[in-house]
Amino acid sequence: MAKPIIGIPAERRLVGDSYRNTVNQKEVAAVVKAGGVPVIIPTREPDLAAEYSELIDGLLLPGGPDVAPRFFGEEPIPQMDEADDLLDATEITLTNLAVAARKPILGICRGAQVVNIALGGDIYQDIATQIDHQTYQHHQKAPSDQGSHYVDIAEGSMLQTIFHGQSRVLVNSFHHQSVRKLAPQLKVTATAGDGVIEAVESKDNDLILAVQWHPELLYKVNADEFAIIEAFVNRSKKYQNSEAAWS
């Protein structure tokens, strides 16, 4: 049986004196370990998104730069970091195409924000200045394979099932933006103690799970974090099999 094809949009990065389309190796390795076949999507070409979407069984939206606020109807505040409009437009288009085709999505960090924006929600451009109370250190100074703060997981959620019924887990944290107004198709399934939304899922099915932390950096020290990626690949395999049955 063929393995599911997992599309991972690439980020444009300056390497030396030239730009390259890059994806973090740990995301690629995690997908391979979970039984998927990662396909790198050279982003910044929103007009090609439909062609790429047809090739894949699941969409993994990785971490990356800030999301440009024009995609949720705002102007940039001074605390905004680097953004890439074409990266944003491509990932938003890929998200909407995956939702329309009922293909599974896993969002990681920025990916959680992209999913929410694509489906009609918005984000804090900078949680430290836009939330009116003291927040945690959400861009940790500890090593990336260590957790820095806890999140509380909603009862009965897909995420809680993945974590074998746990209601509180330690996660890593590398972001300064986060979900604010929730998209209508989503529900919140994890929050930090300071109220920052840490995970969202689709309301009516198991197609979307997006987390604000980086499970691909934690799974070698915490098997449950790998289960997030494994469950996504398994959902993509289920989609692949359902498509095969109809063909």
Active site residues: 109, 214, 216
- Between the alpha carbon of residue 82 and those of residues 45, 62, 65, 179, 206, the distances in Å are 19, 16, 6, 18, 32
Of 247, 233, 185, whose CA–CA distance to 3 is shortest? Answer: 233
| C-alpha torsion 30→19→115→28, nearest 10 | -10
DSSP 162: H
| 144, 201 Cβ separation under 8 angstroms | no
- 247/229 Cα distance (integer angstroms): 27
Does residue 76 contact residue 125 with C-beta atoms inside 8 Å? Answer: yes
Phi and psi, residue 104, nearest 5°: -60, 145
CA 181, CA 126: separation in Å to the nearest integer? 14
